Structure 1
Amino acid sequence: MDPLTLGALVAVLTIAVLFSGISVAAGLLVVSAGFLIVFDGMSSLSLIPEIFFGKLDNFALLSIPMFIIMGAAIASTRAGADLYEALERWLTRIPGGLVVSNLGACALFAAMSGSSPATCAAIGKMGIPEMRKRGYPDGVAAGSIAAGGTLGILIPPSVTMIVYGIATETSIGRLFLAGVVPGLMLVGLFMVWSLWSTWRSGQASVLSAGSYSWRERMEILPRVLPFVAIIIGVLYAMYGGIATPSETAAVGALLCLLIAVVIYKLWDPRAIWVILRDSTKESVMILFIIAAAGVFSYMLSSLFITQAIAEWIGTLDVNRWVLMGTINVFLIIAGFFLPPVAVILMAAPILLPIITTAGFDPIWFAVVLTINMEIGLISPPVGLNLYVINGIAPDISLRTILVGSLPFVACMVVAIVLLCLFPGLATWLPDLVMGVAI
């Protein structure tokens, strides 16, 4: 069978298997084993265990459970509430400043926790009722939290960036740095839209709260600054050449656990056990997907599907930006149905040779891909953040939440367009800090 036809068959069957409700990792293994047996014979199955465990034999993978523990420790405390309250106290005199403080809290908490649902829950539980009480439209209140929660997969340290780096064998340090400027740009776009929407509603003049004294502003900072200091310290150690990403992640996880115990009095061993248990479950899930995706990639390469697709793309007489537009549409649609980690691991083996052949920077593309995944997090039918917000504020209809999140989807599309027009937004900081990649 022609490799391109075979590739189309693999794509159709993979989608069908995943839609059956089976887990992503198990689905990839079933599809891979099936095609290897049919086209390479039963003997090919003997290679699957070696490939599966070989994909996990990577020191960089240690950073994944460590960053997850780091985020779980933060999410288990009142850090989100304190972060929200601190920003509210400092920005409350600004007309419409509450929505800005919520987005800022989402950005910082998402960067610390790395979890989109945890961010929505932690900030939304306080932010949404407070914004509604002060007269903000329901769509702005719900949509801003749903969108703000997605920032965790872009702003470092990001688990999805680690997964992309492992899948494509690119520098995790560069990927983290590449997400900084686009992440801040996206936060800015979210804030601009929220403030304009608030002003358009004609209520901006009444949406500022009473003032706080300087004492009240300063007394909340000691509960928040230690977490922010850990994030800065982790990034400094990584980029200052002091330690590897895995080592800095381990130290960061330990410090976050200590802060949770010391500052937030998380003395109960059962609470710490819950943190470690849930972190282990999530880590195993991600590592299982990574290993299964390695088998899936081997199957694609063994049957010459990846090579044939890359060669076919190279012979197409189309503008490379048309090609990139097509890839973006594919990523957005995939993100509607699958989690970011699964999309990255499934798509990277196919897309990497295509984008490099077309002359695109893999580091730049990682940022574009991640923003596409953010769109999926606030878009139906899966749109996990939409359902988290609906659970927090059940009296806000899912339709209202969806309509409120659509302008933020438009902000993400604008961010992708800006990155295409100005690739340096993603590549400037990595090149500045780590030198120009050869």
Structure 2
Amino acid sequence: MDPLLLGGLVAFATILVLFSGVSVAIGLLVVSAGFLIAFDGVRSLELMPEILFGKLDNFALLSIPMFIIMGASIASTRAGADLYEALERWLTRVPGGLVVSNLGACALFAAMSGSSPATCAAIGKMGIPEMRKRGYPDGVAAGSIAAGGTLGILIPPSVTMIVYGIATETSIGRLFLAGVLPGLMLVGLFMAWSIFATWRSGDVRVLTRGSYTWREKFEILPRVLPFLAIILGVLYAMYGGVATPSETAAVGALLTLLIAVIIYKLWSPRAIWTVLRDSTKESVMILFIIAAAGVFSYMLSSLFITQAIAEWIGTLDVNRWVLMGAINVFLLVAGFFLPPVAVILMAAPILLPIITTAGFDPIWFAVVLTINMEIGLISPPVGLNLYVINGIAPDISLRTILTGSMPFVLAMVLAIVLLSIFPSIATWLPDVVMGAEI
């Protein structure tokens, strides 16, 4: 069978299996085994266990459970509430400052936890009721938190970036640095829209708020500064050549857990057990998907599907930006239905040779891909962040949350356009800190 036709058949079967409700990892293994048996015979399955476990034989994978423990420790405390309150006190005089402080809290908490749903839940529980009480439109209140939560997969340390680095054999340190400026740009775009939407609402209550004394502003800082110091320390250790990402993640996880115990009195063995249990569940899920995706990639390569697609794309007489536009549409649609980790692991092995052949930087592409995945987090039908916000504020309809999120989706699309026009937004910092790649 023609490899391109076979590739279409694999894509259809994969979508069908994943939509059946089975887990992503099991679905990938079922599709891989089925096509290997059908076209290479039963003996081809002998390599599956070796590939499955071999994919996990990677020292860099240790950073995933460590960063997840780091995020779970933060999410199990009042760090999100304290971070929100600290920014709210310091930005009290800024026009529309409450929504600005919420987005700032989302960005910082996302950087600390690396989890979009956790960010939405932690900041939204405090921020949404307060914004509504102050007169902010429901759409702005819900949409800003839903969009702010997506920053967890872009701003470092990001588990999504680690997965991309492992799948494409790209420097994780460069990927982390590449997400910094685009992440800040997105925060700025989100804030600009929120302030404009607030001003357009015409309710002066949201622009005029009480003030805090300097004592009140400073007394909240000791609760949040240690966490921020750990984030900065983790980044310094990685980029200062002190330790590898895995070693840095382990130290960061330990320090974060200790701070949660010391500052937030997380003494209970039950609470610590919950952190470790939840972290283990999430880590195993991600690692299982990584292993299954390795088998899936082997099947694609063994049946010459990956090579045939790359060769076919190379023969197309189209502008490379038209090609990139088609890739973005594909990623956008995939992100509507699948979690970011699954999309990256399935698509990266196929897309990497295509984008490099077309002359695109894989580091730059990682940021574009991640922003596409962010859009999926606040878009139906899966749109996990939408349902998290709906759970926090059930009296705000899902339609209102979705409508309030749409301007932020447009802001993300604008960010992709700006990255396409000025790719150095993503590549400048990695080149300055780690040197330009040859």
Under a length normalisation based on structure 2, what TM-score does the superposition of the two structures give?
0.99
Partner of 1:110: 110
Q: CA deviation at 1:355?
A: 0.3
- Residue in 2 aligned with 1:5? 5
Is the Cα contact below 8 Å between 1:162 and 1:172 reproduced in 2?
A: yes
Aligned residue runs from structure 1 range 348-387, under 5 A: 348-387=348-387
Following the alignment from structure 2 to structure 1, what is the Cα–Cα distance between the partners of residues 258 and 21?
Answer: 39
Residue equivalent to 1:423:
423
1:89-134: CA deviation from partner (whole Å, max 9, x where unpaired): 0001222100000000000001100111111010000100000000
Q: Is the 8 A contact 2:135 2:205 kept in 1?
A: no
Kept after mapping to 1: 8 A contact 2:390/2:398: yes
**Structure 1: gaps spanning 5 or more residues:** none
Give the aligned partner of residue 15 of structure 1: 15
Matches within 5 A, 1:179-258: 179-204=179-204, 206-258=206-258
Query: Would you say the 8 A contact 1:139–1:405 is kept in 2?
Result: yes
Secondary structure of the 2:93 match is coil
Partner residue, 2:321: 321
- Does the CA contact (< 8 Å) of 1:136 and 1:207 recur in 2? no
- Tell me the CA shift for residue 204 of structure 1: 4.4
| SS of residue matched to 2:381 | coil
Residue 202 of structure 1: how far off its partner (Å): 1.2
Question: Are the equivalent residues in 1 in contact too, given 2:124–2:389 (CA < 8 A)?
Answer: yes
Amino acid at match of 1:86: A
Partner of 1:293: 293
For the 8 Å contact 1:76–1:275, the answer to whether it is kept is yes
| Native 8 Å contact 1:135 1:207 kept in 2 | no
The alpha-carbon deviation at position 203 of structure 1 amounts to 2.0
Gaps of 5+ in 2: none
Give every structure 1 segment of 4 or more consecutive aligned residues whose post-TM-superposition deviation is greater than 6 Å.
none
* Deviation (angstroms), 1:205: 5.9
**How many Å apart are 1:368 and its aligned residue?**
0.1
Q: Deviations along 1:72-104, whole A, 9 cap, x unmatched?
A: 000000000000000000001222100000000
SS at 1:210 equivalent: coil
Tell me if structure 2 keeps the 8 A contact 1:95–1:205. Answer: no
CA shift for structure 1 position 208: 2.9
* Corresponding letter in the other structure for 2:265: K
Partner residue, 1:274: 274
In 2, the alpha carbon distance for the partners of 1:57 and 1:358 equals 31
AA aligned to 1:42 is V
**1:6 Cα deviation after fit:** 0.2
Percent of aligned pairs sharing the same letter: 88
Taking the aligned partners of 1:43 and 1:126, their CA distance within structure 2 comes to 57
Mapped partners of 1:29, 1:81: distance in 2: 41
* Matched residue SS, 2:243: coil
Give the residue type in structure 1 aligned to 2:373. M
Root mean square deviation of aligned Cα: 0.6
Q: Which amino acid aligns with 1:311?
A: E
Comparing 325-334 and 207-216, the one that deviates more: 207-216
The one-letter code of the counterpart of 1:210 is G
- Code of the residue aligned with 1:274 in structure 2: it is T
Q: How far does the alpha carbon of each residue in 1:118-151 deviate from its partner, in whole angstroms, 9 at most, with x for none?
A: 1101000010000000000000000000000000
TM-score w.r.t. the length of structure 1 is 0.99
> Whole-Å Cα distance in 1 between the matches of residues 69 and 208 of structure 2?
37
Indicate if the aligned counterparts of 1:98 and 1:208 stay in contact, CA closer than 8 A: no
Shift in CA distance, 391/206, structure 1 to aligned 2, threshold 3 Å: closer
Structure 2 match to 1:168? 168
Q: Which amino acid aligns with 1:124?
A: G
Give, in whole Å, the separation in 1 of the partners of 2:394 and 2:205: 28
